[in-house]
Amino acid sequence: MDEQQLFTIIAEELGLSWNQIKNTVGLLDEENTVPFIARYRKEVTGSLDEEQIRAVWERIRYLRNLEERKQTVLKSIEEQGKLTAELEAQIRAATKLQDVEDLYLPYKPKRRTRATIAREKGLEPLAQMIISQEQDERTLEQVVALFIDVEKGVETIDDALSGARDIVAEMISDDAQVRKVIREHSQQKGVITSEARNPEDVAEYQIYAQFAESLKTIPAYRILAINRGERENYLRVTVDVPVADMIAEIQRIHPSNPQSIFADELKTAIDDAYLRLIAPAIERELRNMMSESADEHAIAIFARNLRALLMTPPLKGHNILGIDPGYRTGCKAAAIDATGKYLEGVTIYPHPPQNQITEAKETIKRLIEKNNIAVVSIGNGTASRETEKMVAELIGELDRSVYYTLVNEAGASVYSASPIAKKEFPELEASMRGNISIARRLLDPLSELVKIDPKSIGVGLYQHDVNQTRLSEALDQVVESAVNLVGVDLNTSSSSLLQYVAGVNTRVAENIVKYREENGSFTSREELKNIKGLGSNAFTQAAGFLRVRESENFLDSTAVHPESYSAVLKLMQTLGLSLTQVTENGKLLRQRLAKDSRSLDEFASLIGCGKETLVDIVDSLEKPNRDPRDEMPPIILRSDVLSIDDLKEGMVLKGTVRNVVDFGAFVDIGVKQDGLVHLSRMAKRYVKNPLDVVSVGDIVEVKVISIDKERGRIALSMVLD
């Protein structure tokens, strides 16, 4: 297929126009980034969002790889002298890689098989008689006797028939139609089963010690759990299908002729083909397909959870005390100011074995008062609830308003030992750097979390079991999307944050920081062109996402792209406005446009840009400092603490969603254990996917429906009445 046909396929699949696909692929081929295309090329793509653009990119890559594979396969078969017009047409028409591989299977170079050995013994003509179900007036023995050749190792009639059946079995196994039918029927009728290898030792896999579920209905998290149990050697896993049904399907494709002397031989060969060759291969395929599908599902959940976490609203304008809780090694506490600057830090020992709670309180009180702390940020790991209780008690003893909250501390230890942390705080020990990160995660989650490998942030499901390359790719896309959506201050951002800006790589990000250190703050976007390694295309990609608040040109501090500056000035002239007036009153531009009799299309044509760009310009100038994170649910700040003993069934509380998984959501309601809102308790309606209802960081109202103090489990419901 040519590119035009590929565009047609994608357009039909995604419900988009052919031109949208063509134009989007063209932009991607020119190495434009997804955030740039989504934000600044709306006229070209028809206003496709990032998700749609990535879907187009994934499909065109798949289809191009498919076409490349087709050419390789066709060339291989042609070199063997076996390419027919019919086979070539089938291969060229295939839309799935699996279909191409099925068609190629009979011609694919194989290792030495039983069928290969039988062919070397001259038994292929006999095999052809069996599979074609030839009729013959002679007896089976008379025909087969002609193929006995002692020198080749065919000494008896049974030897000849056995070898011929091996060839027939392989021919049937290599039949693309047979493979497709058996694969489809196995998917429909198959059941995945697992059993304990040792019933006395199943670790956490008790639920899967005797387990069976249809391939059609088994959820992704169970597949991942079963795979892990198998990998850790606790479980034995198989895919069971109705064998008789599968063999009947093959017999329908390769029917035996009751009048043929070879009828029984074909049936025997079919049984052997299925049991020895097809069934094991299809089971491997199905397991791989299920695992890949489960991986993609788990990665999608992780990605959505990560995005929600990155988009948590920053707690601006407050000095914060970060505490990294611990028992034996103590709790590390660090104070930062409203810009994230480290002020001072200490280690306290309020918990066993030291139990220096009075001294710890005094130290925390001193830090709060000396550094004008407004909020205490507590990591949610080991000893977090005990630390929370201590902080809540202390807050009750203060004569000023101080609040606390728990933050996700996953990855703090990874950050503390990283080169980034060492460069930021060379004078501090690794153990002290982690609590600075915990404080900064409250101050500006996005800026802090980009310093950590996304896989270490811990808001996923079986994240260490899925395809790590695919996971990294998906999570990097999420971080890139979030960073560019929010925008980046060119003069204050770290290289860790800058490297996710569209068009900026790690080396260029470091060069930007180096340039700042040597030349002082940037005074315009245009100055970016002085950065080593940042060419004209990279500048085009990055400029709109980088803000220069110190610039004399107000537009440099907005989301308006430099390529649209002339359009903005023409718009101002047309409406009789100055940029200063719009700077002082962001609503003025929209008001003037509303009063004018000309349409947006006319204005866009007049100033030399598209209508979509004009709309974005107006939005950007109306709210130049808009932070999309401000629209997210605010962080819950607490001043008291609950224990599981304080809970009662029927109690209604507010909580923060900490993690979302296939079977529900874990919600922090201020006690030691997060409560679980099961899928069935998320809404009055049927909920298939929890992410349709909640995201990480959401503030939700929940009702306590059961409490298991012994196991520390709390069941919650979002259905309150």
Mean pLDDT of 437-458: 92
Cα dihedral value 692, 698, 702, 705, nearest 10: 70
Phi, psi of 321 (to 5 degrees): -110, 120
pLDDT bracket for residue 260 (50, 70, 90): very high
Q: Report the pLDDT value the prediction gives residue 224, as an integer from 0 to 100.
A: 94
Q: Report the pLDDT value the prediction gives residue 227, as an integer from 0 to 100.
A: 96
Tell me the per-residue pLDDT of 89-140, one tens digit each, with 9 for 90 and over: 999 999 999 999 999 999 998 889 999 999 999 999 999 999 999 888 899 9
Supply angle C-alpha 191, 197, 203, rounded to 5.
100
- Provide the 3-class DSSP secondary structure of residue 323: strand
What H or E segment, with its residue span, contains residue 294?
helix 279-310
Round the CA-based radius of gyration of the chain to a whole number and report it: 33
Mean pLDDT of 456-464: 77
Read off the pTM.
0.87
DSSP 498-510: HTTSTT--HHHHH
Check: CB of residue 350 under 8 Å from CB of residue 361: yes
Q: Report the pLDDT value the prediction gives residue 697, as an integer from 0 to 100.
A: 84
Residue with tokens 């409203």: 338
> What percent of the chain stands above pLDDT 90?
84
pLDDT bracket for residue 670 (50, 70, 90): confident
Q: Report the pLDDT value the prediction gives residue 625, as an integer from 0 to 100.
A: 85
Check: CB of residue 325 under 8 Å from CB of residue 222: no
Q: Report the pLDDT value the prediction gives residue 190, as an integer from 0 to 100.
A: 97
> What percent of the chain stands above pLDDT 70?
100
Residue with tokens 């890559």: 61
- Provide the 3-class DSSP secondary structure of residue 339: coil
Q: Which of 588, 639, 590 is nearest to 404 (CA)?
A: 639
Q: Which residues contact 557 (CB under 8 A, 6 or more apart)?
A: 547, 548, 549, 551, 624, 625
Q: Report the pLDDT value the prediction gives residue 710, as an integer from 0 to 100.
A: 84
Any idea which of 371-375, 590-594, 634-638 has the lowest mean pLDDT? Answer: 634-638
* pLDDT for residue 168 is more than 90: yes
Q: Report the pLDDT value the prediction gives residue 557, as an integer from 0 to 100.
A: 96
User: In this structure, what token pair is assigned to residue 36?
Assistant: 């740039």
Mean pLDDT of 623-634: 87
Alpha helices in 174-278 (DSSP H): 176-189, 220-231, 243-253, 263-272
CA distance 3 to 66: 12
- Structural domains in the chain? 3-107 (1.10.10.650), 319-484 (3.30.420.140), 507-629 (1.10.150.310), 644-717 (2.40.50.140)
User: In this structure, what token pair is assigned to residue 292?
Assistant: 């890949």
Residue with tokens 């109202």: 701
Chain centre distance of CA 477: 8
Chain centre distance of CA 243: 37
* pLDDT for residue 553 is more than 90: yes
Decide which of 122 and 382 is more confident.
Answer: 122
Tell me the per-residue pLDDT of 317-368, one tens digit each, with 9 for 90 and over: 999 999 999 999 999 999 999 999 999 999 999 999 999 999 999 999 999 9
* pLDDT for residue 688 is more than 90: no
Check: CB of residue 412 under 8 Å from CB of residue 437: yes
* pLDDT for residue 265 is more than 90: yes
CA distance 203 to 333: 37
Q: Report the pLDDT value the prediction gives residue 136, as an integer from 0 to 100.
A: 86
Mean pLDDT of 542-547: 98
pLDDT bracket for residue 306 (50, 70, 90): very high
Q: Report the pLDDT value the prediction gives residue 110, as an integer from 0 to 100.
A: 86
CA distance 562 to 574: 19
Tell me the per-residue pLDDT of 392-424, one tens digit each, with 9 for 90 and over: 999 999 999 999 998 988 888 899 999 999 999
CA distance 557 to 544: 9
Decide which of 484 and 221 is more confident.
Answer: 484
Mean pLDDT of 631-638: 82
Q: Which residues contact 313 (CB under 8 A, 6 or more apart)?
A: 627, 629, 630, 632, 633, 634, 635
Alpha helices in 597-712 (DSSP H): 600-607, 611-622
Check: CB of residue 568 under 8 Å from CB of residue 555: yes
Q: Report the pLDDT value the prediction gives residue 528, as an integer from 0 to 100.
A: 97
